[in-house]
Amino acid sequence: MTPEDLAEYFRDKLGARVTDTKVAHGQLTVTVDPEALPTAARLCKEDPALRFDFFDWMSGVDERDAGFGVVTHLYSVEHRHHVNLRAVAPGGRDQPRLPSITGVYRGANWHEREAYDMFGVEFDGHPGLLPRILTVENFEGFPLRKEFHLSTRDAKPWPGAKEPEERASAEAGQSVTTIDTPAPVSAEDKAAAAKAKAERAKAKAAAMRAKKAGERAAAEPQPAGGDLTERAAAEPQPAGGDDQASAAAEGAAPAPASDTATMDAGGEGLDKPPAPSDPDLAGAGEMPEAASATDAPLQADEGEAEETRSASPAAAGEDVPAGTPAPDEPMGAAEIADSDIAKDAAAGAVQGDVAAGATGDQAGEDEPVDDLAAETASGIGAPPSASGTPGVEAEGRHGGATEQSGDRPAAETPGMNADPQGRAARPADQTPAPGADDGASATRDSGQAVSATTPDPAAPDTTPGGDASDRPVESYPSPDAEPLRAQELQADDADPPVEPTTPSGEGERS
């Protein structure tokens, strides 16, 4: 039967229990009342005109405020027609429940278990939803819910091509790469750091500009931005799948102000040709708030690291108001994207101040397009170096919007280092720190930098020397990172290691 005929048939047979039928791309989706799901399933299986004997799959779909929908796809070998049998689980997002259809289709057993595992939809009448089928048995949270934060996008922002509005917010100077766990930093500290950074950045910028002028392709002059912070704060970006980011970001609104400035300052300090890492930056624009909030300390770190290693700290104390980048500098997206860390992130390397200089110097050889315009010309998507597998993925964690990141035990996500120092020590910060687990090294180096700039009790006051800029890009963090790691380990002692590789094991890997 054609999809339209099928829709008719369903309405005839089930009457009012069919709440919706939709035919799109030649496929029929029948939405039924949740209580009528087993009846509908039985009808599908046994009705001779339908004879949907092949149980294809069942899947949950996160439908935001409407709750969770569960779609069952059935196929008839005999009649060669398909149907999507859909029901929206009542109980909203807290207690989604649906009747199970394992009595009708045996194959639904595992699929319902998966729907439970991924979305938390409970199925009444199912022989046993536990133990969890795909995730670890003691996993907490439901991964495919939209509030389950895939922290990889904090660690490494979107490397692909950007939409226009994303680009704009990216230009607003949002964070580039935030791989490290930011240390708990108060806003005042950040502001002070930002000021200092801005000053140093200015000094450095002047020096670097002349040197790198030639390398810069037509960098899109980003409007300098006293308004950056406003824009950043004013544009909540519901990046795909990262709604939690915006939710969390709102909680951290004050932070971005200084941070973006900081970052801009830091970024402007590096006059490098704009980006292969443009995509990185643009991607960062996707989650400005979250990124910025979480990136705040990191931005400080990056800027710091870059400052300290590329130039002797300029005279601190120049009074630059937070949020005001150097006025006549085209700064923001391009520079920040050009920063070593951004490039390293693009290349998937481990973050840290070891990435000084080298990438920037080599920019343009194997890294294609220089700017967004060139990118457009070249075609689809991001240049290879910035695209592809986005490096180490931090695993998802609980939604930060609904719980304090600090409350979550580290043990929930086996195999991954719980936030070494960031989360537990930042109860006030509602944003879960970005993938702190991406290579302990990242944490090490940035944490280091953090300690250099902010009175972070957890981090020793070690600063990479100015010669770091000469160091080639390494895959391993600097040896200086060790002390910090030890500190992190101490913080982690309270957390039961879930897997044999304890945080210490991870930390000493390199």
Partner 1 sequence: MTDTLLRPGSGMLPGGPGEGMLVEVRGEGELRTQDMNLNIGPQHPATHGVLRVVIDLDGEKIVRATPVIGYMHRGFEKLAEARDYRQIIALVNRHDWLSAFCNELGVALAVERMMELEVPDRAEWIRVLMAEWNRVLNHLMFVGSFGLELGAITPVFFAFREREDIQGLMESATGGRLHFTYTRVGGLKEDLPRGFLAASAKMTRNVRVRNSEYRDLLEGNEIFKARTRKVGILPPDVALDYGVSGPTLHATGIAEDARVTEPYCRYDKVNVHVPVGATGDSYDRFQILLARIDASLDIIDQVLDNIPPGPVNVKLPKIVKAPEGEIYVRTENPLGQGGYYLVSDGKKNPWRLKMRTPSFNNISAMSYLLKDQLLSDMIAILGSVFFVVGDVDR
Interface with partner 1, residue 93, by CB under 8 A = no
Please say whether the beta carbons of 305 and 401 come within 8 A.
no
CA distance 383 to 280: 11
Element (H, E) at 19: strand 18-24
CB of 123 within 8 A of CB of 41? no
**From the list 93, 153, 423, 426, which residue makes contact with partner 1 (rule: CB under 8 A)?**
153
Site for partner 1 contains 121 (CB under 8 A): no
Nearer to partner 1, 361 or 395 (CB): 395
Angle at which helices 340-347 and 288-310 cross, to 10°: 120
> Is position 125 an interface residue for partner 1 (rule: CB under 8 A)?
no
- Under the binding rule (CB under 8 A), the answer on residue 509 touching partner 1 is no
Q: Which residue has the tokens 């949270």?
A: 141
Q: Which lies closer to partner 1 via its Cβ, residue 310 or residue 413? A: 413
Binding window for partner 1 (CB under 8 A); candidates: 72-80, 176-184, 330-338, 359-367 = 72-80
Give the HSE-up count for residue 484: Cα atoms under 13 Å, Cβ half-sphere. Answer: 33
Cβ distance to partner 1 smaller for residue 260 or 387 = 387
* 393: contact with partner 1 by CB under 8 A: yes
Residue 396 contacts partner 1 per CB under 8 A: yes
The DSSP bridge pattern shows strands 18-24 and 27-32 to be: antiparallel
Contact call for residues 118 and 142 (beta carbons, < 8 A): yes
What's the sign of the alpha-carbon dihedral 421, 422, 424, 427?
Answer: positive
Q: Which stretch binds partner 1 (CB under 8 A): 33-41, 235-243, 295-303, 308-316?
A: 235-243
Nearer to partner 1, 71 or 253 (CB): 71
Dig out the tokens for 294 from the structure.
């979480």
3-state helix, strand, coil in the chain (%, to 5): 45, 10, 45
Q: Which residues contact 502 (CB under 8 A, 6 or more apart)?
A: 492
Give the one residue of 12, 15, 16, 24 binding partner 1; rule: CB under 8 A: 24
Question: Judged by CB, which is closer to partner 1: 321, or 496?
Answer: 496
As a three-state string, the secondary structure of 428-488 is CCCCCCCCCCCHHHHHHHHHHHHHHHCCCCCCCCCCCCHHHHHCCCCCCCCCCHHHHHHHH
Residue 94 burial class via C-beta count within 10 angstroms: exposed 0-12, middle 13-18, buried 19 and up: exposed
Residue (207 or 374) nearer to partner 1, CB: 374
Residue 276 makes contact with partner 1 by CB under 8 A:
no
Q: How many residues line the site for partner 1 (CB under 8 A)?
A: 59
- The yes or no reply on residue 110 touching partner 1 (CB under 8 A) is yes
Edge-to-edge order in the sheet of strand 68-75: 18-24, 27-32, 82-89, 68-75, 54-62
Q: Smallest distance, Å, CB 397 to partner 1?
A: 12
For residue 238, give every residue at least 6 positions away whose Cβ sits within 8 Å of its Cβ, in sequence order, or none: 246
Nearer to partner 1, 54 or 476 (CB): 54
d(CA 273, CA 372): 12
Options 12-20, 74-82, 268-276, 321-329: segment touching partner 1 (CB under 8 A):
74-82
Q: Among residues 1, 14, 23, 133, which is the contact residue for partner 1, using CB under 8 A? A: 133
**Residue of 33, 163, 235, 403 interacting with partner 1 (CB under 8 A):** 163
Residues 6+ apart with CB under 8 A from 505: none
Q: Is 235 in the site for partner 1 (CB under 8 A)?
A: no
Which residue number, 464 or 497, has a Cβ lying nearer to partner 1?
A: 497
Under rule CB under 8 A, residue 56 binds partner 1 = yes
Q: Contact between 48 and partner 1 (CB under 8 A)?
A: no
Binder of partner 1 out of 5, 8, 20, 134 (CB under 8 A): 134
Question: Which helix H or strand E contains 255, and what residues bound it?
Answer: helix 254-268
Cβ proximity to partner 1: between 254 and 348 the closer is: 348
End-to-end CA distance of the chain: 62
Contact between 71 and partner 1 (CB under 8 A)? yes
By CB under 8 A, the residues from 302 to 321 that bind partner 1 are none
Q: Does 55 bind partner 1 (CB under 8 A)?
A: yes
Among residues 135, 404, 501, 504, the one that binds partner 1 under rule CB under 8 A: 135
Contacts of 229 (CB under 8 A, 6+ apart): 256, 257, 260, 261, 323
Residue 373 touching partner 1 (CB under 8 A): no
Q: Which residues bind partner 1 (CB under 8 A)?
A: 24-25, 27, 29, 53-57, 59, 61-62, 71, 73, 77, 80, 82, 84, 105-107, 109-110, 118, 128, 130-138, 143-144, 148, 150, 152-153, 160-163, 240-242, 375-376, 379-381, 387-390, 393, 395-396
